[in-house]
């Protein structure tokens, strides 16, 4: 009979450990510069690895995470940021009070912003019943935290026209959205700042719906948040923006300076091996996650 243990302590700090090199060659053919690297029928993971917010059923998921130049997907970033949330929520003495969002949040707030602008800034679209409000309450995701209890909120932002990931970080006290871009040019930065506008414009109106922010002495004002570009960041030379986004968030959470020279291969190795070893450990030791499901309620409007 499977025994249950809590997994929450395993990841407390393990994302800060040095990386280990695992013989990934045992399940790929070393042609890591190609999109399809596995023989037919050899790509499956049975049973799938369970990572809380999503199951991983293919070895290609690890291949894309492990090797430089591979674009990370929504799945990679949602899983990574889930464990960052978990790390912060269960730390006994967290260095930073934070939470994160997921890729669906970005799509949801951008869809709302497009409608908001199309309807000449119709404020009736911003309601306490909207899905965005549930994120702010901490009810929309596993290991979510109410935003009024946090100082920082991290946003995963995908610039679709650029096929590029950037990181947003809201400092609630300062009323600023800090934009982290690993591919900084005048054109890219302009597009990145534009991608942050839905957060800057809409979130102040959502915050005004909640008395909890005032009770926690958080500033509440309907003026848009200021969007600030973070300068001096290491820059990518290939399709590694997803890894940069995850690492920028991790450095801030651990209160460590972002190094000017970024060893993307090392960071990818570390993440891929940690997740692989963790999934195998859960299987071998029959470790199940504790019940972290958010409270059930009526379906919310996503539009």
Sequence-ordered list of residues with C-beta below 8 angstroms from that of 153, at least 6 positions apart, any chain: 98, 99, 100, 101, 147, 169, 170, 172
Query: CA–CA separation, 276 vs 283, rounded Å?
Result: 11
Q: How many CB atoms lie within 10 A of CB 197?
A: 16
Q: What is the pLDDT of residue 289?
A: 59
Q: What is the pLDDT of residue 29?
A: 47
Please name which of 184, 151, 164 lies closest in space to residue 252, comparing C-alpha atoms.
151
Q: What is the pLDDT of residue 288?
A: 63
Query: CA–CA separation, 302 vs 238, rounded Å?
Result: 34
The answer to whether residue 35 scores a pLDDT higher than 90 is no
The answer to whether residue 92 scores a pLDDT higher than 90 is no
Tell me which fold the domain 14-284 belongs to. Adenoviral Proteinase; Chain (3.40.395)
Compute the average pLDDT of residues 205-222.
95
Give one DSSP letter per residue of 152-221, joined into a string.
EEEEEEEETTTTEEEEEEEETTTTEEEEE-SS--HHHHHHHHHHHHHHHHHHHHHHTT-HHHHHTT----
Distance of CA 291 to the CA centre of its chain: 21
pLDDT digits (tens, 9 = 90+) for 129-153: 999 999 999 999 999 999 999 999 9
Exposed, middle or buried: residue 203 (CB in 10 Å: 0-12, 13-18, 19+)? buried
The answer to whether residue 19 scores a pLDDT higher than 90 is no
């Amino acid at each position: 009979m499977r025994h249950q243990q809590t997994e929450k302590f395993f990841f407390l700090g393990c994302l800060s450990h040095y990386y280990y090199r695992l013989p990934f060659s045992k399940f790929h053919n070393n042609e890591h510069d190609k999109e399809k690297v596995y023989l037919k029928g050899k790509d499956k993971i049975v049973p799938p690895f369970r990572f809380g917010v999503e199951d991983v059923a293919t070895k290609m998921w690890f291949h894309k995470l492990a090797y430089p130049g591979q674009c990370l997907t929504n799945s990679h970033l949602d899983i990574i940021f889930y464990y960052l949330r978990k790390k912060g929520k269960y730390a006994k003495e967290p260095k930073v009070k934070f939470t994160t969002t997921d890729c669906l949040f970005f799509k949801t707030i951008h869809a709302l912003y497009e409608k908001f602008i199309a309807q000449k800034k119709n404020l009736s679209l911003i309601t306490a019943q909207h899905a965005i409000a549930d994120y702010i309450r901490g009810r929309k995701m596993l290991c979510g935290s109410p935003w009024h209890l946090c100082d920082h909120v991290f946003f995963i932002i995908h610039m679709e026209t650029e096929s590029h990931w950037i990181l947003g970080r809201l400092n609630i006290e300062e009323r600023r959205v800090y934009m982290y871009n690993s591919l900084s040019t005048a054109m890219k930065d302009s597009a990145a700042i534009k991608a942050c506008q839905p957060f800057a414009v809409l979130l102040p109106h959502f915050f005004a719906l909640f008395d909890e922010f005032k009770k926690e002495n958080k500033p509440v004002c309907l003026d848009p948040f200021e969007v600030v570009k973070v300068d001096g960041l290491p820059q990518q030379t290939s399709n590694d923006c997803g890894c940069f986004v995850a690492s920028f968030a991790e450095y801030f959470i651990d209160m460590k300076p972002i190094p000017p020279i970024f060893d993307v291969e090392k960071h990818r190795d570390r993440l891929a091996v940690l997740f692989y070893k963790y999934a195998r450990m859960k299987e071998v030791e029959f470790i199940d996650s504790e019940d972290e499901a958010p409270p059930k309620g009526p379906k919310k409007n996503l539009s």
